[in-house]
Chains A and B, each alone.
Chain A
Amino acid sequence: MSQFITVQVGQCGNQIGSAFWPLALHEYGIQTTSGGVNLLKVQRNHVKHISDLSDAFPSFFHVPVKTDNLYFENVADLSKAKVKARALLIDMEDSVVSRFKQGPLRQLFDQTCIVTNYPGSGNNWAIGYHVHGREYHDRIEESIRHMVEKCDRLHGFLLMHSLGGGTGSGLGTATLKLLKDYYSHVERIVSCIYPANIQDTVTAPYNTLLATQELIEHATCVFPVENKALLDICNSQMNKRENTNQINYNASCKPFQDMNSIIANMLLHLTSGSRFPGSLNMDMNEVATNLVPYPQLHYIFSSVSPITLSAPNMCTMQEPKLQDELFTNAWSRNNQLIKLDPLQSTSVILAAAHIARGNTTLTDIKRNVERFQNKSKFTSWSRDCMKIGLCSIPPAGHSSSLLCLLNSSTMSLLFKDVIQEFSKLYRKKAHIHHYTQVHGFEETQFIESKENILHLSECYAEIQNMKETNISRLQVI
């Protein structure tokens, strides 16, 4: 089974992590909290797949003792076996990471893999990237090497951070660059939070711009997420009354926790093909091959369906119809993790991947991909750029679910937004001195980043308006 190292940077990144690890454990059938809803009860069928699940246990966790039986029942079992999460926790303040240190999962994290500092990066990308990046370079490098050495088949790094603040965006992208320098052949999957409009910090537009530039340069694939989109998804789930488990769950959870678990679910689904068997495997490295037609156009729309944490107990619909609805939901703009519609009429799809888990059959996928091809617009070459994956292990609590990844030219709107927000602030040269006084940062970096991002969004526009060329096929003489 392929293995992944999770790198969570900054407050936001670590909060996503705190939602990620309990859910990852649930997927393997381990209950983490004593109170609240017993998610395991919800997950009725995990026993059926127990051997496949425990086979895949090392993909996120390191088990030091060589045993054949990788089946654990609770957290106590985990700490007895000295199981460690393959995770690197980086934060420049202590608060969130220390919550990890006290939580029920504290045994799961290796002390050497926690990098903290005080005080934080002051919402300043330049401090995060240049000051902390330089200062902690060796420390982070060592921690990562430490973890990489424990992997026998490392497959990818999963980075989680936000772009608005200083630590996540600055040190996060510095770590990304470090990973690229040292482990260039390993996939770097980034799932990052875009602040988008509702800004909690003044300098967010600067940080976002500078970090975006780094992500374009160094990541293999980026799955952008917007808080607003998550909030809308959560709100619409709250109002649904059909599902008692969900209501109980809603009642017991914290708002950020719930939003972050959407991201966690997406990441679990994304890696499922690499972890579990299926009749049409989809490995992580296939994501980039299939979805990135041109270099640097690796910003991918993602949506999971169903988005709820558990399925309704009663289901009256027939299986094929249920499957169709699953697909329709995944294409809907309400389920996208950013507030853009990848299928809007003016944009084109560059590539798409549908990864199904559970009892979806090839026929279901075939029918629905053909439906998708009829409803969306493509460039002249991308109609067949479809990837399908079938993983036989359903996610916790469901009988089947679908992850839809789209590379759409709509993404240029995100970049335009980033530039617009940046220009608004930069026109008045506000707060620039915070950045320029940092050693290693040049003001030209602002302009260069802006140019680069502008260029990228022009690339999308170019593809959107691509004209059919008439180069005939090779002639046989």
Chain B
Amino acid sequence: MLTIQFGQCGNQLGRDLFSRVCADLESPNTGVSHGANYEYVESTIEKWFDGMTERGRHLARAILVDTEEKVVNGMWKDPQASWTYRASNVVCQSGGGCANNWAYGYKISSQRLSDSMVSVTRREIEKLDRFQGFLLLLSSAGGTGSGVGSRMVETLRDEYETKSIVASIVLPFTFGEVSTQNYNTVLTLAEFSDRADFSVLFENQQMHAMSTSLLNNSNTMLCDMNNIISENLLAAFQPSDEARCNMNFLTSKVAAHPNFRFVTIKSAPHVPATSLQYEPNYKWNVYVRHLKQTLRISKSQVELTNVQLKAPNPSLSKTVVSHTYSPCVSNILVTRGKSVENDAIMLEDLQKRHLYPEWIASTESLTHLHQERKFLNRDKFLALITNNSEIHRPLDTYLDKAWNSYKFAAFLHQYKQFGLEEDDFLEAFTKVENIVQEYKSLKSGN
């Protein structure tokens, strides 16, 4: 797997991701035999890293792309870390950023960077015997991540037609991080919906809320949010006992239908690191049911409480059936931790037919992956990779806001000066409208 980090957000997230991988490798409490742990560590290292430095630090198999040196320069300043980046994998040209402008990133910066990006990518891939696919990390708000990332995903698709491309896209706060974020987001999503096999979407809003309410972090910073995103990604991508589980496998399971390619990851439990050992440990079923709850949608107009922001609750009885759930194209449940006889992982909850549309075969609807080894010292950790219709809500919001400014032609001259035309905008709008429509009209069987 080759990770490519775009822009400030992508690079910050990437650094966090690799730190978490290392933390997971070094975690003392594995819960499995030495041999099993060794196997896990081996395959983790094969997945994320590429050799070692002379000082015994792992080298991340990652390419760093940015147009501003400051972030990338700070990346390997930490001498204590047990891993580092390969200096030759930095593709950076400081021309003063992309001005939060998708068009600038897509049309101008990417041209300057693309040659070296392509050659570094090729060099990395040639080193690999079994290349699984790409993991792209970026945010959709700024200019570098969204613009250069969009151009790069096109190039990668052309060059490596058969390889999986998975993108992890961070969506901006709805109150506004950047004035042009809604345009940038729509343009990026339109580009990735065609090119990437599937994109995992993370909403900053949601991550911030999780950090404040679940981790009791009243003064949440960006790195706290990145930590949650990293844990979600790792819970999905770390090795599991399914031997064929590689990126192609994930792609075929979660994004089997070409019209539905945007997935979210929900995970549990999230507890503050300091109180980890005092937290109650529930049975697997409690967590599974909790994750199922995150798929709930309200029947009436009333806003539902955001289940992701609550701790799992064991007292919830099974008899409550009156909820409606959002229809899912497919789900993958990843469980990490020991499963014993009197606490088996029951999947019926997530296999119910009312969760899926009729055209999905029941064998395809839910995939279960399990790993005995504990993830980051947690006794139990579950992640639900879900491709469900709820994703249309955030997309709809961004689309609405972008269209609202587009109506008044606000900020458009900034894009036009770099060669983006009205038609390009309309095309992007059409694509994303289509995606929203497809997800909205998804109907589950009874």
Contacts and interface: CB of A to CB of B under 8 A. Distances in A.
B179 A385 contact: yes
Interface in A459-477: 466, 469, 471, 473-476
A469 B175 contact: no
Interface string B401-420: 10111011111011000000
A281 B401 contact: no
B413 A289 contact: no
Contacts of A38: none
A178 B405 CA distance: 34
B408 A466 contact: yes
Contact of A293 (B94, B220, B411, B433): B411
B221 interface: yes
B326 interface: no
Contact of B74 (A1, A277, A353): A277
Contacts of B429: 473-474
B8 interface: yes
Contacts, number: 145
Given A1-B69, A476-B437, A274 B96 contact: yes
Nearest to B70: A277
B433 A283 contact: no
Nearest to B398: A384
A35 B178 CA distance: 44
Contacts of B173: 366
Interface stretch (A42-50, A234-242, A373-381): A373-381
Interface string B7-20: 01000100000000
Interface in A376-431: 379-388, 390
Interface in A425-476: 466, 469, 471, 473-476
Contacts of A294: 409-410, 413
Nearest to B400: A473
Contacts of B405: 293, 381-382, 385
B407 to A, nearest CB: 5
A369 B74 contact: no
B368 to A, nearest CB: 35
Q: Which of B143, B403, B407 has the most CB of A within 10 A?
A: B407
Given A281-B68, A281-B97, A366 B407 contact: no
B400 A382 contact: no
A26 to B, nearest CB: 22
Contact of A283 (B96, B221, B411): B96
B343 interface: no
B79 to A, nearest CB: 13
B290 interface: no
A281 B177 contact: no
Contact of B99 (A288, A385, A474): A288
A9 interface: no
Interface size class of B (residues with CB under 8 A): 35 or more
A290 interface: yes
Nearest to A285: B99
A279 B223 contact: yes
A361 B434 contact: no
Given A1-B69, A476-B433, A289 B180 contact: yes
B426 A289 contact: no
B176 interface: yes
A473 B186 CA distance: 13
B220 A363 contact: yes
Interface in A140-157: 153, 155
Given A277-B71, A277-B74, A373 B175 contact: yes
B395 interface: no
Contacts of A55: 73
Contacts of A293: 179, 405, 410-411
B99 A387 contact: no
A290 B98 CA distance: 12
A388 B177 contact: yes
B315 interface: no
Most chain A beta-carbon contacts within 10 A, residue among B223, B403, B408: B408
A200 interface: no
A227 to B, nearest CB: 31
Contact of A387 (B176, B413, B433): B176
A386 B71 CA distance: 22
A252 B100 CA distance: 43
B56 interface: no
B33 to A, nearest CB: 41
B430 interface: yes
Contacts of B221: 279, 361-363
B407 A283 contact: no
A281 B408 contact: no
A286 interface: yes
Nearest to B429: A474
24 contacts: A1-B69, A1-B70, A153-B94, A153-B95, A153-B96, A279-B12, A279-B221, A280-B8, A281-B70, A284-B96, A286-B143, A288-B99, A289-B411, A290-B100, A294-B410, A295-B413, A351-B179, A363-B212, A381-B407, A384-B175, A385-B176, A390-B222, A471-B407, A473-B399
The 10 closest A-B pairs by CB, nearest first: A386-B176, A283-B97, A285-B99, A385-B179, A290-B179, A384-B176, A293-B410, A476-B437, A381-B405, A277-B70
Interface of A: 1-2, 55, 153, 155, 274, 276-277, 279-281, 283-286, 288-295, 320, 351, 353, 361-364, 366, 369-370, 373, 379-388, 390, 466, 469, 471, 473-476
Given A291-B179, A473-B429, 9 more contacts: A155-B96, A277-B71, A285-B97, A290-B100, A381-B401, A381-B410, A382-B405, A386-B177, A390-B222
Interface of B: 8, 12, 68-71, 73-74, 94-97, 99-101, 143, 173-182, 208, 212, 218-223, 225, 399-401, 403-405, 407-411, 413-414, 426, 429-430, 433-434, 437
